[in-house]
Structure 1
Amino acid sequence: MSPTHEREALFWGLVGVTLFAATLPMTRLAVGPAEAPQLSPWFVTFGRAAAAGLLSVAYLRWQHVRGRLNVPVRAQWPLLGTTAFGVIVGFPLFLALALRTVPSTHGAVVTALLPLSTAVLGALWYRQRPSAGFWACALAGSGLVLGFMAWRAGGLYLGAANLYLLVAMTTGAFGYIGGARLTPSLGAEQAICWVLACSLPLTLPVAWWFAPAAPGAVSAMAWTGFAYVALFSMWIGFFAWYRALALGAVRVSQIQLVQPFLSLLFAVPLVGERLDATTLVFALAVIATVYLGKKMPIQPARNPA
């Protein structure tokens, strides 16, 4: 990767991560805690995808009018389905289910595991060979984040919530890389728009089925959280993130190591999280691993003889 492309990839990756970082506290606001539930996790998952899907239809129509519409070929439809399963259903649904019972600080564990999962899948799909130093930095950064989250929560929560987070992490990584595979031919914006638009036959009826019977009884903050995850987490954030992954999936995935700390920063005004000196020390340590990992060589796979 040239220095120019690397800087561009890291820039778009940072934009995407920043937008995604608010997803956890905003999702927590949307679903509410178990003792004061707001919107159903199922409605938040499929409703946000349906809203973003309608926006995607309008965007694709606009691109068609401009003569710039890229239509997926038949061979890309399985990849569209894989991406939809990961970023539209798997990751947001299981994250929302988990955040009904655990705070967003604990939920941020999933964003700590995503870089390693994305890097592994990226290396396999793009046939890249990260150096041992890269993997050492990725593992060290993930270990720092996991250790911090375990300390912050006073020990990892047991029960279904951790299983939900594990499934969310795994499906999210598949969705990220699947979208990155679609981006070179469709473009970053049209890739996620096609995924969302093609999912409307599923997302619209499910969202309608789980819609609140009394929308006025849902708090304004919950609706604000829902609006954010529909517009930014489900749509605009992927414009930047898929563009970054297409430029360099393995290296860009390490930027996600700072996402949990950005989530904590956003959670301070939204859900009353306390940001202390220990948090800042861990954040600096994780950022250091990202910087060191960025300097480690990544080589393409050797062509078979």
Structure 2
Amino acid sequence: MRKSLDPTTDGWLCGLAGVLIFSGSLPATRVAVLGLAPLFVTGARAAIAGVLAVLLLAVFRAARPGRKEIGSLVIVALGVVVGFPLLTAFALRHVSSAHAIVFVGLLPLATAIFGVLRGGERPQAAFWIFSAIGSAAVVAFALGRGGEASPVGDALMLGAIVVCGLGYAEGARLTRHLGGWQVICWALVISLPVMAPLAWWTQPASFAAVDAAAWWGLAYVTLFSMLIGFVFWYRGLALGGIAGVGQLQLLQPFFGFVLAAVVLHEAVPPAMIGVTAVVIACVAGARRFGRAAPVAVTRA
């Protein structure tokens, strides 16, 4: 009989699955906002995912969150359901998805910092060294690929990283006793009364004028980026440690580049191989020195 995985390994595998799913988020958002208004994309992705969340919670008869959990769910909703999607949607009107990767390289650090502030984690000093080196490597590689800076776009992306890091850490903390899929579902439900009217008021005057690529982009960020990815991601952060597992986000840009090479037959820069090796080493170091004690998730 096969032994079950220990919580920490399970957490890192779930986190890796979440990162793989999130790798397509920025490109899909970029495609969506080229044909649809950023406010509509933000409202529609959350509203549709919110309806699906209501159905999931009803089918599985999920327990309602307590009063103390509502405040944390509001923080999650403001961070990952409203804040990050809205700010990145507007930012990607000013910068390319490739340029936005510069800021994605800072997300692991933001997540780790909020993991300390909100999750009570205390990684070793060596963890911060590996985290900083990994983030610098990603940012340097992304900048080396070119792309013009935009003060407005850069400010929006920086704000998106801050609120996303907070939403990740708060959701992971809440997952420890509420459950991963329940956290994102309840956050979506809380957001629904605001996001559904937003989607309705900002819908395009004519749906026929919107090309298929924009709809496919919206479909991806709705189903995968807004719902499925978080089921894996929050469980991973809760079991493996917010600071440690959060470093897996350093690999997200490279998954995107590999995807572009396989699907779009784009050339893979030779420098990417070396930088990826550095990032993998940093993630391994962060896993060792940022390891949290195993935490039981009390609800499936």
* Alignment TM-score, normalising by the size of structure 1: 0.90
Query: Which residue in the other structure is 1:266 paired with?
Result: 259
8 Å contact 2:176–2:238 — kept in the other structure? yes
**1:205 and 2:197 aligned:** yes
Rounded Cα–Cα distance in structure 1 between residues aligned with 2:278 and 2:16: 17
* One-letter amino acid of the structure 1 residue matched with residue 110 of structure 2: S
Query: Which residue in the other structure is 1:119 paired with?
Result: 112
8 Å contact 2:94–2:152 — kept in the other structure? no
Equivalent pairs: percent with the same residue? 43
Which residue, out of 24, 40, 43, partners 2:37? Answer: 40
Query: Which residue in the other structure is 1:9 paired with?
Result: 11
Q: 1:271 to 1:159 in 2, by over 3 A?
A: farther
Which residue, out of 139, 146, 149, partners 2:139? Answer: 146
Which residue, out of 81, 84, 96, partners 1:91? Answer: 84
Rounded Cα–Cα distance in structure 2 between residues aligned with 1:149 and 1:283: 12
Structure 1 alignment gaps of length 5 or more:
33-37, 301-305
Aligned-pair distance for 1:298? 4.6
Q: 1:171 to 1:267 in 2, by over 3 A?
A: farther
8 Å contact 1:25–1:266 — kept in the other structure? no
Larger deviation, residues 290-299 vs 177-186: 290-299
Which string of whole-angstrom CA distances, capped at 9 and with x for unpartnered residues, describes residues 169-212 of structure 1?
00101111121122122211111101101211001000111111
Count of matched residue pairs: 288
**1:54 and 2:51 aligned:** yes
Aligned-pair distance for 1:297? 5.4
8 Å contact 1:134–1:293 — kept in the other structure? yes
8 Å contact 1:109–1:260 — kept in the other structure? no
Which string of whole-angstrom CA distances, capped at 9 and with x for unpartnered residues, describes residues 18-58 of structure 1?
000100111111112xxxxx111111111100000000000
Q: Say which SS state the counterpart of residue 101 (structure 1) adopts.
A: coil
Aligned-pair distance for 1:124? 2.3
8 Å contact 1:29–1:222 — kept in the other structure? yes
Which residue, out of 279, 283, 293, partners 2:276? Answer: 283
Rounded Cα–Cα distance in structure 1 between residues aligned with 2:40 and 2:262: 25
Which residue, out of 15, 24, 30, partners 1:28? Answer: 30
- Within 5 Å, give how 1:144-293 maps onto structure 2: 144-153=137-146, 157-247=149-239, 248-268=241-261, 274-293=267-286
* One-letter amino acid of the structure 2 residue matched with residue 265 of structure 1: V
Aligned-pair distance for 1:235? 0.3
Structure 2 alignment gaps of length 5 or more:
294-300
Aligned-pair distance for 1:287? 1.3
Rounded Cα–Cα distance in structure 2 between residues aligned with 1:39 and 1:114: 26
Aligned-pair distance for 1:128? 2.2
* One-letter amino acid of the structure 2 residue matched with residue 11 of structure 1: L
Which string of whole-angstrom CA distances, capped at 9 and with x for unpartnered residues, describes residues 58-110 of structure 1?
0000011xxxx121111111111111000011111111111122111111122
8 Å contact 2:95–2:150 — kept in the other structure? no
* One-letter amino acid of the structure 2 residue matched with residue 245 of structure 1: L
Aligned-pair distance for 1:123? 1.8
* One-letter amino acid of the structure 2 residue matched with residue 121 of structure 1: F
Query: Which residue in the other structure is 2:20 paired with?
Result: 18
Aligned-pair distance for 1:151? 1.2
